[in-house]
Structure 1
Amino acid sequence: MSEAAKLKRASYHLYTFTISKLISTFGSSVYAFGISLYVLALTGSAASFAINLISSILPRTILAPLAGYAADNYSKKKLIIASQLGGILSVGGLLGYSMIAGLSLPAIYAATALVSIFSMFNGITFSASIANLIDSNRIQKAMGFNQSAVSLAAIGGPVIGGALFGFVSMNVFLVIEIAAYFIALSLEATMNFKLFTAVEAKSEEQPKPSVIQGMKEGVAYLRTNRVIMVIVTTAIGLNFFFSALMIGLPFIAVQQLKVESAHFGVIEAMIAVGMLAGSIYFSVRKEVKFPLLFSKRAILVMSVLLAALGLPLIFEFSYNLNVGYLIILMLAFGASNVCVNTPIGIMMQKDVDEEYRGRVFGILESMAMAMMPLGYLLFGLLYDQVPAEYVVLGSSLCLIVLTAYMIRTSVIKEAYPALGNSSGSVILQKQ
């Protein structure tokens, strides 16, 4: 295929991938919102809601390395199609069960776990495939479009779900999810996952490493690549300490500042709006020259924003000022979140060797997901025992120290040797 033909095909992938992601994520968002409210309405129990959440998180944590291994050793296109089909069958099975016997908690938990597993296989395989679908000059645009689609779905899903809940049965939510998966599958089936590849295709007869051996090779690769290892380790710490925000925001806003539920919904939505704004910014701007340095600064900004969450508890604001302050804070937090993730995602797409990309993303997802329940538990306990302003300030300081140590000057210079020249200190200050 000529270079011009490849670029034309890559343009098709860019928009097809974005539309597919928007539709599938929107369907999942509507479904997740509806099923969560249904579980709460059915049981009135926070524990039942938590079990449904664990049913989503735990399988992803355990099986993410396996998904990475599969992405590196089997046809990415077949995995994408199989995972979408698996999601359709899982939700379809719950729909069939509902029509025959009515929804029950065990059936919902089982469907949640299966949908989570297939979604995780799809997501990791796509993450490992972006550099195969899109030319290197437009990877940042692809990442920006992808994040825009996710943000739009995060904003629109709960709105549509909230409008539908109480007026239609849960079967309608299931049908929406199935339809979204089916449309995404139809689009993804037209994509060429080998358009840009530097690795020879592995034949079906060619012996593959065992799952354990393949995962060991992925870990060994991480250990030999210091910069990528730093990114993965920092991401784990980020997910852990920002659990303080996920738990602290509703606790501080609703319990301590007495923000009304309608206003709190707007505050939470601002995170997705900020992410959308940041995504649009990255989709139109020139590619970041030094992604690791850019992300480091964005993490430090997020750390300051985390500490700022406790400000209304230290100074007495009016109700309207509290709401306005939290809206602006969450808008900035969402935008800075994208400023961390997008440059790092671009860097990993370009710097991780293609034959290890799936396993690296799998390990990253597994470790990051594992930190979430631990962070939720720890910070949930801390907020009950320690003044909330101290918790967010302490978490902010820990994150600043972690970032300053992990992404120190020597690591940045290793990632960008040009910064190590005589004018490196000047570049390091200004880029």
Structure 2
Amino acid sequence: MDSMMMLRKATYHLWTFTISKLISSFGSQVYSFAISFYILQATGSAKSFALNLICNVLPRTIVSPFAGYIVDKYPRKRIAIIAQIATTLAIGGLFVVSATTGLSLPAIYITTSIVALTSTFSSVAFTSSITGLVDEARIQKAMSLNQMSISFAAIASPAVGGLLYGVISMPLFLIFYMAASAVAIILEATINFTLFSAKQAGTVGTPKESMWQGMKAGVAYLKLQPLLMTIIGIALLVNFLMSAYQVGYSYILIEKLKMVSQHFGFAEGAFAVGMLLLSIYLSLRKEIKYPLLAAKKGLILTGIIIGGTILPLLIAIPYNLMFGFYILLGLSLGACIVFINTPTQVMMQKQIADEYKGRVFSIIETVAMALSPLGMVLYGFLYDVFPAQWVLLLSSGLFIAVVLILARPAVIRKVHPELAEEKVVKKRAEAF
């Protein structure tokens, strides 16, 4: 295939991949909204609602390392399509149950668990295949468009779900989701996952290599990459400390500041809008030159934003001004998250060997999530015992300290040696 043909195909991949992700993400989030609403309406139980959330998170955490090995071992296109078909069948099973005997909590929990498992395989397969789908010059654009589709779905799905929930029945909801999933399958079937790959997926390792050996090889590869180990260390501690914000944000706005539910919804939605706006910006601009340095700046700003959440607790602010403040905070935080994640993911896409991508991305995701449940439990306890402003302020300080230590100038120079050279050239130019 000549270079012009490959570039045209890459452009097709760019938009087909984005549309597929938008359709599947939108369907998934509208379904999630409808099921959550149904559980709360039917049972009135926060425990039943929480159990559905656990059925969504726990399977992902457990299966992610195994998914990475399988994605590296077998053809990624086949895995992505099988995962999407399995999602469609799971929703179809729930539709049959709802149309015949009526929805039950066990059926919902089983379906949520299956969808969580299948989406893990689909997500790892696609993330590991970005460098095979598009040319190197457009990796950042692909990552930004992917994030844009997820952000748009996060913004629109609650509004669409809320409008539809009162108008159509749950079986019809499930039919819509099945249809969206079927369209995603058709689009994915037209994509060449190895267009730019140097090595065909499914040829990793030796024929007799066991799953355990394959996973050990992935960990061994990871240990030899100082940059990836630095990213894992930062992700582990930062996500743990981020739990202070995740738990404290709702607690402060609802319990302490008595923000009305409608305004709280807008304040939370601002986060997704911020992600969407910066995703659009990054998709249009040239690739960020020093990704780890950009991520460091974004993380420091995130730490400042987390600390800034407590400002209305310390200073009396009129209600409307307080509402506007949290809208601005949500927009800024959403933009920061994209500014951190997108350049870092682009850098990893380029530096990780193709035959290890599935395992490495799944290990990073698993480690990043590992301390989050512990953090949520710990901070839930701390907010009950200590004043919220001091818990959040201390966590913000620790957050910034972790970033400054783990992404210190020596580490940045090691990852981006050309940065030091650029500074020397600038100094010489200034001298003349």
Corresponding position: 1:416 with 2:419? no
How do 1:4-403 residues align onto structure 2 when only pairs under 5 Å count?
4-200=4-200, 202=202, 207=207, 209-403=209-403
Structure 1 residue 165 displacement after superposition: 1.8
Q: Which moved more, 1:165-174 or 1:305-314?
A: 165-174
Task: Please name the residue that 2:3 is paired with.
Answer: 3
* TM-score, reference length from structure 1: 0.96
- Matches of 2:422 and 2:266 in 1, distance apart? 50
* Contact kept? 2:132, 2:196, Cα under 8 Å: yes
Structure 1 residue 245 displacement after superposition: 1.6
Q: Which moved more, 1:367-376 or 1:160-169?
A: 367-376
* Amino acid of the structure 2 residue aligned with 1:61: T
* Contact kept? 2:267, 2:327, Cα under 8 Å: yes
* Amino acid of the structure 1 residue aligned with 2:417: P
- Matches of 1:205 and 1:410 in 2, distance apart? 35
- Matches of 1:201 and 1:303 in 2, distance apart? 39
* Contact kept? 2:94, 2:108, Cα under 8 Å: yes
Structure 1 residue 201 displacement after superposition: 5.2
* Amino acid of the structure 2 residue aligned with 1:213: Q
* TM-score, reference length from structure 2: 0.96
Change (3 A) 1:23 1:63: same
For residues 310-353 of structure 1, the C-alpha deviation after alignment (integer angstroms, 9 at most, x for no partner) is: 11001111111111111111111111111011011101110111
- Matches of 1:382 and 1:403 in 2, distance apart? 23
- Matches of 1:51 and 1:208 in 2, distance apart? 40
Task: Please name the residue that 2:430 is paired with.
Answer: none
Change (3 A) 1:146 1:203: closer
- Matches of 1:252 and 1:74 in 2, distance apart? 47
- Matches of 1:201 and 1:368 in 2, distance apart? 26
For residues 285-304 of structure 1, the C-alpha deviation after alignment (integer angstroms, 9 at most, x for no partner) is: 11100000001100000000
* Amino acid of the structure 2 residue aligned with 1:215: M
Change (3 A) 1:200 1:262: closer
For residues 54-81 of structure 1, the C-alpha deviation after alignment (integer angstroms, 9 at most, x for no partner) is: 0010000000011111111100000010
* Contact kept? 1:57, 1:369, Cα under 8 Å: no
* Amino acid of the structure 2 residue aligned with 1:414: K
* Amino acid of the structure 2 residue aligned with 1:388: A
Where does structure 2 lack aligned partners over 5 or more consecutive residues? 428-432
For residues 221-247 of structure 1, the C-alpha deviation after alignment (integer angstroms, 9 at most, x for no partner) is: 111000011112212222222122221
Change (3 A) 1:322 1:410: same
* Amino acid of the structure 1 residue aligned with 2:115: V
Matched residues, percent identical?
Answer: 47
* Contact kept? 1:310, 1:389, Cα under 8 Å: yes
Paired residue secondary structure (1:198): coil
Aligned-pair RMSD on alpha carbons?
1.7
* Contact kept? 1:243, 1:379, Cα under 8 Å: yes
* Amino acid of the structure 1 residue aligned with 2:217: E
Where does structure 1 lack aligned partners over 5 or more consecutive residues? none
Q: Which moved more, 1:412-421 or 1:391-400?
A: 412-421
Structure 1 residue 423 displacement after superposition: 3.3
Structure 1 residue 209 displacement after superposition: 2.0
* Contact kept? 2:40, 2:49, Cα under 8 Å: yes
- Matches of 1:382 and 1:296 in 2, distance apart? 28
Residue correspondences, number: 427
For residues 163-207 of structure 1, the C-alpha deviation after alignment (integer angstroms, 9 at most, x for no partner) is: 122332221221222111111111000000110112255469961
Change (3 A) 1:175 1:202: closer
* Contact kept? 1:63, 1:366, Cα under 8 Å: no
* Amino acid of the structure 2 residue aligned with 1:59: P
Structure 1 residue 148 displacement after superposition: 0.7
Change (3 A) 1:244 1:173: farther
Change (3 A) 1:160 1:208: farther
Paired residue secondary structure (1:129): helix
* Contact kept? 1:245, 1:306, Cα under 8 Å: yes
* Amino acid of the structure 2 residue aligned with 1:160: V
- Matches of 1:122 and 1:91 in 2, distance apart? 16
- Matches of 1:358 and 1:406 in 2, distance apart? 25
- Matches of 1:234 and 1:209 in 2, distance apart? 32
Change (3 A) 1:426 1:253: farther
* Contact kept? 1:271, 1:330, Cα under 8 Å: yes
